[in-house]
Amino acid sequence: MRAGLGSGPAAEGVARPGREAGEAAPAGLRQDRAPRLGARHPASGPGARQARLRQARRPALHLAPHLALSFALALLLAGPAAAQRPGCGFGEGLAALREAEARLHAPITGLLVGREAAAAAGRSLGLAAARFSGCGCPRAAEAAGEAGQLAEAAAGAAEVARLQPLLDRAGFSARLAREGLGRRGCS
C-alpha cells in the first residue's frame, strides 16, 4: 500500500471502471470515505426507533412564547362576535327554536290540536328568526324563517293526513337550523 493514498481499492491497485489497474484516483476524491459493506445508517441504530417515535409525538406547530402571548392578547382585545353582543337575544332565539322543534315533533291527537301546535311553532320560529336576524346571523334567520313558513302552512291544513307531513317537514327544517348553528355558529 502506498503512503498517503488511503486504503481504498485504488490504493491497492485494483482496477475501477474507467481506470487502469494501479492508476491512482484523481486528486480530491477520497477513497477511504466510501461506505463499507455491513455499515449501518445512523438512523437505523438501536435508538433510532425511539427517536422517530419522539419526533412523531411532538406537536406540528411550535409557537414561541411571545407569539402565543400576542395571539391570546389579540383574541382578548377583539370585539365580541355578533351572537355575544349584549341584548341581541341570541339565547332567546335558541330557546324559541328548541321549543318549536319540540312542538313540531309532539304526537298529534287530532286536527285542532295539531293545528294549534303548528301555529304556536310558527310563532316561535318567527321569534327565533327575528332574534337571529337582530344578532347578525342571516343564515340562521333564513333557516328558522323557512321552518316557520312550513309550520304556518301546516296550521292551515284541513285534515290530519295533510297536517302530519307538513309538521314533519317543518320539524326537519327546524332541526337543520339548530344543527347549522351548532356547526357553523352565527353566520
Provide block-wise average pLDDT over 10 residues at a time, the chain (187 residues): 50 54 56 54 65 64 56 49 63 92 90 93 94 89 93 91 92 91 81
Predicted TM-score (pTM) of the model is: 0.54
Domain membership flag for residue 149: yes
Find out whether 8 and 32 touch, Cβ atoms under 8 Å.
yes
Q: In whole angstroms, give the CA distance from residue 179 to residue 187.
A: 13
Domain span at residue 136 reads: 87-184
Tell me how many domains the chain contains.
1
Give the pLDDT score at 90: 87
Domain membership flag for residue 19: no
Give the pLDDT score at 79: 41
Domain membership flag for residue 131: yes
Q: In whole angstroms, give the CA distance from residue 78 to residue 167.
A: 42
Domain membership flag for residue 44: no
Domain membership flag for residue 2: no
Give the pLDDT score at 135: 87
Give the pLDDT score at 80: 45
Question: What would the grid cell of residue 79 be?
Answer: 370585539
Domain membership flag for residue 73: no
Question: What would the grid cell of residue 52 be?
Answer: 422517530
Three-state SS sequence of 162-179: HHHHHHHHHHHHHHHHHH
